Structure 1
């Protein structure tokens, strides 16, 4: 970061976190990597980590400068059960935002959430 960026406290419109763009990044990666996947409890940890890293890298390339990205991936076995998830954050409603997507196949479900927190 150079000194000319040091006092910017709001992102310009081009660089503001856009949930629709991020959701499309998530959707593309998850469907590509999990469409034919079968639930395996031994692989879920590495699968989740790998998905989170891949999503983070793709979202970073989308041009959200000065945003701290937090990616949460939950993968579970699909047995027809219901799952409820919630999260709570303290942030600036003018600059910070999130995007999420849910994926199901016959064997597993996956919920990916990306939080974009502006770095002042």
Structure 2
């Protein structure tokens, strides 16, 4: 007799699949709550990025996207009117893997957050 945990899954259950809209809402809420009144400080920005990434990862894990590896990238920079371009490239399965991102800006700083969900076969 084969138990459920011993079976091989090549596709996630639809209701447990990584949902970018849900994750984007999590990112949006956490970043705005933590950064709305924040001023850019080069002395504390490294710890702030780590703390934000950890908070976002913990929140995304509560969604229980079954068998997904979650990677969170947070970038915070000083707002001086400059332009910033970012890109990311990944080798992944377009049927199962996905990402969500959001951008926050105030008068002092900008923050770009990307969360990748990669299905673990």
Shorter-chain TM-score range: over 0.9
1:69 and 2:74 matched: no
Aligned match of 1:104: 105
Q: For residue 22 of structure 1, report the CA deviation from its aligned partner.
A: 0.3
Aligned match of 1:92: 93
1:41-80 equivalences in 2 (<5 Å): 41-80=42-81
Moved over 2 A (4+): 2-6
Gaps of 5+ in 1: none
Max Rg structure: 2
Aligned match of 2:11: 10
CA-atom RMSD in angstroms: 1.1
TM-score by length of structure 2 reads: 0.95
Instruction: For residues 29-76 of structure 1, give each alpha carbon's deviation from its aligned partner in whole angstroms, at most 9, with x where no partner exists.
Output: 000000000000111100000000000000010121110000000000
TM-score by length of structure 1 reads: 0.96
Distance 1:5 1:16, change over 3 A: farther
